[in-house]
């Protein structure tokens, strides 16, 4: 099992951050940009992925 010193070095966290950027760009234009509730839900959902990775990493460090 791999161990990381920082969650920022995890490939999963980096990919999740790229997903956040892609979702923001995709929801910045067109019809979805005018459906505020749907747009915000998509953006918050995407942001929860790297946030949960960071939280899990920190929790593991505290227990560790």
| Total count of domains within the chain | 1
Residue 48 pLDDT:
98
Residue 21 pLDDT:
98
Domain annotation covers residue 18: no
Residue 4 pLDDT:
78
Cβ–Cβ < 8 Å for 52, 16: no
Cβ–Cβ < 8 Å for 50, 14: no
The alpha carbon of 63 is separated from its chain's Cα centroid by a whole number of angstroms, namely 23
Domain annotation covers residue 42: yes
Q: What value, to the nearest 5°, has the Cα angle with vertex 46 and ends 4 and 34?
A: 160
Domain annotation covers residue 1: no
Domain annotation covers residue 49: yes
> Which stretches in the chain have pLDDT values below 50?
none
Residues spanned by the domain of 50: 31-64
Domain annotation covers residue 17: no
Residue 64 pLDDT:
60
């Amino acid at each position: 099992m791999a161990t990381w010193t920082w969650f920022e070095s995890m490939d999963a966290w980096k990919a999740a951050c790229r997903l956040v950027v892609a979702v923001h760009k995709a929801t910045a234009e067109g019809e979805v940009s005018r459906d505020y509730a749907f747009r915000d839900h998509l953006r918050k959902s995407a942001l929860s992925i790297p946030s949960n990775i960071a939280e899990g990493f920190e929790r593991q460090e505290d227990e560790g």
